[in-house]
A and B are shown apart, each in its own frame.
Chain A
């Protein structure tokens, strides 16, 4: 099924983009369109599109000592091609699970984050890495935690009349991290989920750990993260089992099918066992 496009604007400056959005608040901002085109949810809809790919500012990458700013229209391969920055490891691993090299040439970071009805694979990585995002609208710009893009229905929610400007990733190394993507499909959703776990260890204790799961919904158990923080390693087997149980509960509560929930809880347990040095 082909989508129907009523109107498309391809502004060259941020001001033009904002002006178009002011006139057409329901317009859909798009980058590489790799998520838009194959998604049956968009087939048969009459769409107004705001193509952001021509705006130079949105393709910029800026780095300081403490963070790196990635424009929302930077391609996934653009991020992957960045010179070796250990702090970006979890993000790069997540991006490598997306499509093929030719798709990643066109797919943009912003497009992956701003899915309307499910989360892309970069989202949990950026969430675990405590990224912030800048939104732009007629009212100006505002910086938000990436978690603020999660709406009340636990789905990604970009406020109407605004678009993603850039993503700021703290340059902080995560010594231990893993990305697990499960599911066969091309599109995120019910059958595709991505789990990101990042952790640091100091003096044989977990100094920080973030566990984020996304698919149709976002799952994050902050109480579990708090409980694990400061725990001495190796973790007792019982503690790993408790974590397995707690994360399983959170996943089921978020509506994940039982089989998938068990599989991701198993992954969390495996990570904790590895963290304890139990892995071969």
Chain B
């Protein structure tokens, strides 16, 4: 079948098997090296993408549901100001993620930034538990998550970088 979707702002058209999964498509066609196909069960979260504004496991998105979807991967996030905020918060708190976990954790942090209301501690824990990060401690990531939101508020209030 032919599908069309938006990947990091680019229109993508391709012919696929309906049972193909987004994670495999991105990997096979070299569209996003940051997406790691690990468990294939929607469990590990290392194939995280933002699908229509919400975090989703790319291994759980069949090709036939991709039609007209808007997908953002880590490669897309890198080009945004949110990425810089996250990088800054990580550097401030000494969080060093491995290259397998970093893209997914960053995407989830970016989703937090998009929320209108300040996320509660439980919201942060729930959301970030979507990645089974094996390289860093949960508390460190939660701290960075809170700091990212704080930086965003600072930016809106004109205190960025202070």
Contact = CB atoms under 8 A, between A and B. Distances in A.
Contacts of B42: 34, 37-38, 99-100, 102-103, 186
B103 interface: no
Contacts of A96: 126
A2 B59 CA distance: 11
A93 interface: no
Interface stretch (B5-13, B14-22, B154-162): B14-22
Contacts, number: 74
Contact of B127 (A2, A101, A106): A101
Given A32-B60, A186-B43, A105 B65 contact: no
Interface residues of B, number: 28
B62 A102 contact: no
B61 interface: yes
A37 B18 CA distance: 12
B45 A100 contact: yes
B54 interface: yes
Interface stretch (A4-12, A60-68, A170-178, A251-259): A4-12
B48 A51 contact: no
Interface in A225-272: none
A2 B16 CA distance: 14
A3 B51 CA distance: 22
B40 A102 contact: no
A53 interface: yes
A193 interface: no
Contacts of B18: 5, 8, 49
B17 A5 contact: yes
B67 to A, nearest CB: 7
Interface of B: 1, 17-19, 21, 40-43, 45, 48, 51, 54-57, 59-62, 64-65, 67, 108, 126-127, 129-130
Interface of A: 2-5, 8, 10, 32-34, 37-38, 49, 51, 53, 77, 96, 99-103, 105-106, 186
